[in-house]
Structure 1
Amino acid sequence: MTVTTALPHADALALADQRLGAWLKQEGCEEPPLAVREPAPHEPTPRDPGAYDPAPHDPGTAAAPERLRLGGRVLLDRDGGPLRGGPVAGRYDRRRLRTPAPHGTHQLTLTIATGAGGPTWVWLEAETHTTGSGVRTPCRVPVPELARTLLPLLDAADGPAAVQLAPRVLTAADVEGLIDELCDPARRLPTVVASVPADRGLDDWVAEVVRPLCGQLPGLATAYVLDPGARTEFNVALEYHAVYGGAVRTYLPEVDPASRHDGARHPVLARRRIEEDLRRAAGLLAREPRRLAAEQPLPSPLAAVPVLRVPPQGPRTGTGPQDAAARAELAVLAHEEQQDRAEQQARADELERVRHSLRRERRHGAAQVRALTGRFCAVQGGAAAPVRPGRRPAGPTTSAPAAGGAPGSFTELMRRLGEFPLLTFTGDQKSALALDELQCSNTGWARLTWDGLTALQEYAEAAIRGEAGGDFKQWCERTPAGCHRFPPRKAVRGESRTVFSHTKWKRERMLPVPECVDASRRAFMGAHLRIGGGRTAPRLHYLDDCSGSGRIYVGYIGLHLTNTRTN
């Protein structure tokens, strides 16, 4: 479990120690004594040295490592100090608990780390070591009780999402926020979204199916249930990532809602498999979150935590000559422990390098696939080949319009579409040219359309590098410095459910695309830009296929297509 908390470091540590002690007492073990840190040289000594000091740790003060025996085979190791990089890097505190298991030892490690100026990270790792072999079997380890008790107290978060114990029911008004959450680049945990079958009531389905199904997810994923209204809104907005009929879908980080190719990345657990064996289905649902938790690189504060320092266990020594041999033995043990710790640190650092390397390779491979697919589409459709993905050059934006500035008419705009190398116009120019015949076209429609195309081009350049940080609407809400800004309220993700479910109106928005995008050479383009207001209200409809062919296809520029407000 890797989450953040808004609590200060010392408060989070105090909560963790309190809950850990309460759990040990409940299990019949001895409660550990309160942790005491040594004061910094400039800090006065507390009046009661045996009391836990809730004041924030001095980042330069290291808590002496200690090993406590709490009865039987229960061991608690505690350490803390500055992160690697020195006191300015931040501080960590750690608790490692070892308890006997039927076939070996359970190990629970809780680490709290706070980087300089950053949030407090909480990392909880549970594992089982079999007797004699030390083989890890993480898939068989249940969610620790400590995770269930800590999460509500920490107000744990994963980027923009609150990490809660139970699935949260969403209404139609919550769908926009859910989509923003799915696309947010800061999200690390998977998001599990459950639908409700038409023949079951919402409350019964949540209580009897969804909650037991998500019983192994606390701390590993966020979970939501779509009520009937939210399900329709969600599936209209995310045509290629839909979930319905009692199925449950796991959305991995970096969702691209406009890409049908990306939809295949996010596994679906069908209702039939859930109802066949609910317990087995719960295990299947937890498999992907567990894999992701094990393979993802750690946040930088947690990666900077040194390996555990355990004080060497040796014979007691006195001051007489007869104790010289014992002191020498203790020195050897201390040296060996230092060497072991150095080797463990090297292995931990290598593991992090491998995780980062695998992540880079996956992203690089995806970028190459997008580039090759884009070139194939360009050759197939007769369009210009897309720009090769790479680092954005310094200086002016690559998609800046020519020296002539924004066009004054749609006739000029259509002639200059070649200035946007990652945009392909697939529609009929007549609908766009007809806008020049309207008197109200003097209100700046052509200029606003040009602004929208410029923003789409810059977004596409970032998207094919994996640096867009979400879909186009989120790009408009958080436009990077130096890029052209398009009003977020004028960027719409998709049509309403009324339009989507109306056969004739939906057909109007089935617009041309190359065969490499869709074998039918048609695709629904619900995403659009609002170019004007009123009854005529021009629109620009497009398909974002940056994660597939590496391009954006503009299928329509013209007057508002038919809906409930048009004649």
Structure 2
Amino acid sequence: MTDVGEELSRKACSAAERDTQVWCAAMSGPTSKLEQTCSFFYALCQEGGWRMAIGYRAVLRLTRGQSAVAAAEEQVRTWLKGKVGKRPAQQARVDWDGPGHYAIGRGLELLVVHADHDEQTPRRLYRIIEANPSGRWIVSVYAGTLVSKRGGEQTIVVEVDLSGADREAALAKVAPPKIVRTLLDTYDASDGSVQLTGTPNVVRSAQIEDLLAAIADPNRTASVVVALSPARDLDDAWRKVVGSLTRQSVGVTAAYVVYHDAAEAFAEALPVSHRFHPGQIRTFLPDVEFDSPSDAIRHRWLALPTLTRSLQRGRVAEPLQRRHGEDARRRFVEAQLPADVQRMIELLRRSETGIERAARVQAIVAKARAVTPLPAQQPVATESASDIAQSAPEAPAASSPWRERITAMLRRWLGRDPALPKELDDLDTFIEAKVAEVQVATDQLAEAAGSVENLQAEVVRLRREREDMELEWAVALEARQNADRDNTVLRRRLAASRQPGDAYVEPDTEDWAAPSTVEELVRRLTAGDDEHHVTARVVFTGDDDGAIEIDRRYPSGVYATAFWLHVRVLHDYAEARLNGFNGGLHMYLGADAVAGTKCPPGQHAAKESQTVLNNTRWSAERVFSVPTTVREGATVLMEAHFKPTWRDTFAPRLYYYDDVAGTGKVYIGYIGRHLTNTQT
């Protein structure tokens, strides 16, 4: 797909504009469908790397009272003036008025697109195209007022593309454009409740709670980079180091420098699993789960020795800057945009497609006319269409400007000398066929667009599942290594105690073997001929729809094994309670002195988050059936649940209600896909 700036700069066809519009209308078919298809393929080319590859994207939500369009236009003008100022020998024009294409200078172009809904909801696209020895760079600034339940959301999206590069090359080479830093330094922008700034924020004792809230914010999409100062006299120098480290992720991360006098208090406020030490820099990804020790493995830290090796004159060298910033940029580039932001971008791209299509048609028409010029048009005062009709084909000497132009047109399109009126009928058939071809091609493009869109969605889903599997593998590997170490130490001690036979662990009996499917597990826990003796302590009270869905999605039976372990945990926990253990299930999982089946504590959650409980619809999803002997209304809110998998949009869960103190049993109300929360 040829870039509109390049197309327009090569072909200035303003004289053919009126004719072009007529031909566009004749050859395009339904404009809205063609625009939608072209817009989709434009977006697809960007995403897939056919035309260019996005190497940077930032979504900035401005606070109320600020105008995203005014802010974007002001900063684009300032940025371009700075670029033009470095090129004094060139004649350049930075001012523009309305949508269109503007040549700012040699190798520097600007495309302005408007897609306003009304005066209250303006939308703008400023696309800066710059060619230099290092490549062809496209910076796109989308700005608009987005309609939401809270009113007009002032939003700016900045993307940087590298023409001719694939995704990996773009991520490695692209850096945040200067306009992002100036926007953040000039206007108040946020991501959820997290403030985005161009330089790291200083955290002292009074700001510790604010930092903890930013890390735990369930609505943020940006990473939070926290650096603990190694010493009091290095506080200011440490801030400069962190500022240089995060230069490549400005706009997609929120950086905080905890000064030394607050570092210890901040570390103490974190769970043990998520703590780190002075001199370390930790990146907290979105969706932090402080109550899950396994969650800590997601949030990597940079140790002081690694950082020190990359320091040059008190600043981090560019290779480490790029490595540190690339992960954050990748998440934003590959993540799905919020629905309101996606809608704004689609509308602006659709308007841009109209401009691009008109420009390309102008260029094609102008080129064709240059090859086959029509006779010069002369003013005709008396001749009309009826005069032409009365002209006999056997009178070749009779000529007129109209006849000459029609003759040239028929010769151009049909390739033969005219013999009116048959050739006019043939020309009409020719045009009709071409219009039909365009319509068919448009329909086929729309069908192909739908197929490609589905494939793209599948690729995104598979990528997320791969990342989730890698994370689960890392958690499982860590648990396996710890378990192997414990087993080795315990066996050595048993051998030293002269009772080596105690090191032998007998296998499970056949009736305690894991079921092959989750549906079979549910049947074991449901009263009837197939019930297992585990139902003396654990009973399933829900429906089996969720279990069947899990088996269809994961036919290997991996979740049947995982959930059976949790059922055994519940059974042995209930037995321990009835035999004198005084504590909840989470305490039981950490009580080594209490015999019974255990699972990693990180797979269990005793409660739901306040975000879920405060949402009426979400909390209602967690109300499940129990016998009337447990609750008079036969339903109860079940907060406690097991989570055998880490995190994806399906992520099966098992919800239960502990009534050991009453009926002596635990009731499982739900086994199925992840219920609704901020992550789904």
Among 89, 102, 127, the residue aligned to 2:133:
102
Among 318, 322, 339, the residue aligned to 1:283:
322
Q: Show the counterpart of 1:77.
A: 111
Deviations along 1:267-302, one digit per CA (max 9) or x if unpaired, are 111111111112133222212112212221111123
Cα deviation for residue 346 of structure 1 reads 7.3
Contact 1:367/1:389 (8 A) holds in 2: no
Given the superposition, is the C-alpha separation of residues 290 and 180 from structure 1 closer, same or farther in structure 2, using an over 3 Å criterion? Answer: same
Q: Show the counterpart of 1:355.
A: 460
Whose helix fraction is larger, Structure 1's or Structure 2's? 2
Q: Show the counterpart of 2:39.
A: none
Letter in 2 for 1:77: L
Q: Show the counterpart of 1:176.
A: 209
Residue 96 of structure 2 aligns to a residue in which SS? coil
Is 1:67 the equivalent of 2:130? no
Q: Show the counterpart of 2:89.
A: none
The 5 Å alignment of 1:235-250 reads 235-236=267-268, 237-250=270-283
In structure 2, distance between residues paired with 1:31 and 1:141: 24
In structure 2, distance between residues paired with 1:11 and 1:148: 17
Contact 2:68/2:155 (8 A) holds in 1: no
Residue 225 of structure 1 aligns to a residue in which SS? strand
In structure 2, distance between residues paired with 1:8 and 1:338: 42
Among 131, 143, 156, the residue aligned to 1:112:
143
Given the superposition, is the C-alpha separation of residues 302 and 274 from structure 1 closer, same or farther in structure 2, using an over 3 Å criterion? Answer: same
Deviations along 1:418-462, one digit per CA (max 9) or x if unpaired, are 9x997564589xxxxxxxxxxxxxxxxxxxxxxxxxxxxxx9388
Larger Rg: 2
In structure 2, distance between residues paired with 1:243 and 1:17: 42
Cα deviation for residue 199 of structure 1 reads 7.0
Is 1:20 the equivalent of 2:165? no
Residue 180 of structure 1 aligns to a residue in which SS? helix
Given the superposition, is the C-alpha separation of residues 255 and 298 from structure 1 closer, same or farther in structure 2, using an over 3 Å criterion? Answer: same
Among 284, 291, 302, the residue aligned to 1:251:
284
Letter in 2 for 1:285: H
Deviations along 1:97-144, one digit per CA (max 9) or x if unpaired, are 11112143111111225443262332111122259x999523212220
Cα deviation for residue 169 of structure 1 reads 1.2
In structure 2, distance between residues paired with 1:262 and 1:153: 36
What TM-score does the superposition give when structure 2 sets the normalisation length? 0.48
Contact 1:422/1:460 (8 A) holds in 2: no
Is 1:312 the equivalent of 2:457? no
Among 605, 609, 625, the residue aligned to 1:460:
605
What TM-score does the superposition give when structure 1 sets the normalisation length? 0.56
The 5 Å alignment of 1:197-212 reads 197-198=230-231, 200-207=233-240, 209-212=241-244
Given the superposition, is the C-alpha separation of residues 260 and 298 from structure 1 closer, same or farther in structure 2, using an over 3 Å criterion? Answer: same
The 5 Å alignment of 1:219-234 reads 219-234=251-266
Deviations along 1:526-560, one digit per CA (max 9) or x if unpaired, are xxxxxxxxxxxxxxxxx9996889899xxxxxxxx
The CA RMSD over aligned residues, in Å, is 5.6
Cα deviation for residue 71 of structure 1 reads 2.9
Letter in 1 for 2:460: R
Contact 2:69/2:122 (8 A) holds in 1: no
Among 147, 169, 174, the residue aligned to 1:141:
174
In structure 2, distance between residues paired with 1:476 and 1:8: 29
Q: Show the counterpart of 2:670.
A: none
In structure 1, distance between residues paired with 2:290 and 2:271: 6
Cα deviation for residue 254 of structure 1 reads 1.1
In structure 2, distance between residues paired with 1:243 and 1:417: 39
Residue 230 of structure 2 aligns to a residue in which SS? coil
Cα deviation for residue 181 of structure 1 reads 2.1
In structure 1, distance between residues paired with 2:200 and 2:543: 39
**Percentage identity across aligned positions?**
19
Q: Show the counterpart of 1:292.
A: 331
In structure 2, distance between residues paired with 1:110 and 1:391: 46
Deviations along 1:482-537, one digit per CA (max 9) or x if unpaired, are 599xxxxxxxxxxxxxxxxxxxxxxxxxxxxxxxxxxxxxxxxxxxxxxxxxxxxx
Residue 286 of structure 2 aligns to a residue in which SS? coil
Given the superposition, is the C-alpha separation of residues 261 and 92 from structure 1 closer, same or farther in structure 2, using an over 3 Å criterion? Answer: same
Deviations along 1:2-24, one digit per CA (max 9) or x if unpaired, are 32424579921122112112211
Q: Show the counterpart of 1:446.
A: none
Residue 137 of structure 2 aligns to a residue in which SS? strand
Deviations along 1:164-200, one digit per CA (max 9) or x if unpaired, are 1111111233233322322222111111111111374
Given the superposition, is the C-alpha separation of residues 191 and 81 from structure 1 closer, same or farther in structure 2, using an over 3 Å criterion? Answer: same
The 5 Å alignment of 1:144-543 reads 144-198=177-231, 200-207=233-240, 209-236=241-268, 237-277=270-310, 278-279=316-317, 280-304=319-343, 305-306=345-346, 307=349, 308-309=352-353, 310=356, 311-313=358-360, 314=363, 315=365, 320=377, 321=405, 351=456, 354-356=459-461, 358-359=463-464, 425=588, 460=605, 472=609, 481-482=619-620
Contact 2:60/2:251 (8 A) holds in 1: no
Deviations along 1:321-360, one digit per CA (max 9) or x if unpaired, are 489679x99x99xx79989996789757754553355446
Given the superposition, is the C-alpha separation of residues 145 and 3 from structure 1 closer, same or farther in structure 2, using an over 3 Å criterion? Answer: same
Given the superposition, is the C-alpha separation of residues 295 and 130 from structure 1 closer, same or farther in structure 2, using an over 3 Å criterion? Answer: closer
Q: Which runs of 5+ in 1 are unaligned?
A: 37-65, 394-413, 429-458, 463-467, 485-542, 553-567
